[in-house]
A = this chain, B = another copy of it.
Amino acid sequence: MALCPILSDNGRNAIHKVEAYNQFGDKHQINIAGEEPLTIKVDGKALVTLMTLGTHPELLVLGYLRNQGIFESIDDIKSVTVDWDREVAEVETIMRQGIKSSLSNKQPNKKINGHALDRILEKLRAEPLHPVELKKSYIYDLVREVKNYNYTYSNAGSVHGCGLCERTNVIKFIEDVGRHSATDALSGYMWLNNISGHSKIFYTTGRLTSEIVIKSAVMGIPVLISRNGTTHMGFQLAQQLGVTLVSRAKGRHFVTLNDYNVAFDRND
């Protein structure tokens, strides 16, 4: 059995108190969400700088490396050490050879390009997303349930929240400044705990854009639920990759744009 990477445990406090003034000029204290730069270095070489809430930096780094296809296996990673004084996450690889040269020339921030999408489609042809059971009641229950987890949003606003769910159960919920980072952190959590995307549902407060649909497919999750809407490319990619989109999920309403890989019971 493979050894888990050694991770620091340097999550930051998500909420800051600052003085502000309302429209009448009255001074009062408000909560605002954190945002910090974190530069990922792989074997000493800077890869990218992410802006993050900072509550789960080690998971964010792992998930970023996974979702961007920088490393195929978590076994390649020896340790992740976050140092906020330097605003750096040091990633040490097992082989200490940095990123393979074939990957190091790619722009990791390039969210869509022919090559990356081709690789994902090729992988999905070999391992298609697993079918999952979905009920109307699951969606209603999850939409209600996630409200118990959005701590930063409910206290300070200005963050997105993403939940890894199974049936009506929220397995892990993570908030971050960007929905892509919250998603990456969940991906890191799944990688670290060897949790597959089979039978899972991904909930996000953010929009269902191309980026989030691709990440869902990379994480092997067949269903995306959002309280927000979708873009045209999110919709097109979902069709191509076989991800089922449930948008505008609020209260007892939702919209589905397609049904792939799900046995969807709208009567229960």
Contacts and interface: CB of A to CB of B under 8 A. Distances in A.
Interface of A: 16, 18, 20-25, 30, 32-37, 39, 48-49, 51, 107, 109-113, 136, 139, 156-158, 177, 207, 209-211, 228-235, 252-257, 266
Contact of A23 (B34, B157, B252): B252
Given A20-B257, A228-B158, A235 B25 contact: no
A51 B111 contact: yes
Interface centre among A21, A22, A256, A266 (most CB of B within 10 A): A21
Binding site secondary structure of chain A: mixed
A158 B231 contact: yes
Query: How many copies of this chain are found per oligomer?
Result: 2
A110 B50 CA distance: 8
A45 to B, nearest CB: 13
Q: Which of A33, A39, A256 has the most CB of B within 10 A?
A: A33
A51 B209 contact: yes
Nearest to A22: B255
B266 A23 contact: yes
A37 B16 CA distance: 36
Contacts of A49: 110-113
Nearest to A33: B231
A231 B24 contact: no
Nearest to A236: B35
Contacts of A252: 23
A40 to B, nearest CB: 11
A65 B157 CA distance: 31
Contacts of A231: 32-35, 158, 177
A35, A36, A112: which has the most chain B beta carbons within 10 Å?
A: A35
A207 B18 CA distance: 17
A73 to B, nearest CB: 26
B209 A23 contact: no
Contacts of A266: 23-25
A16 B48 contact: no
Contacts of A209: 35, 51, 158, 177
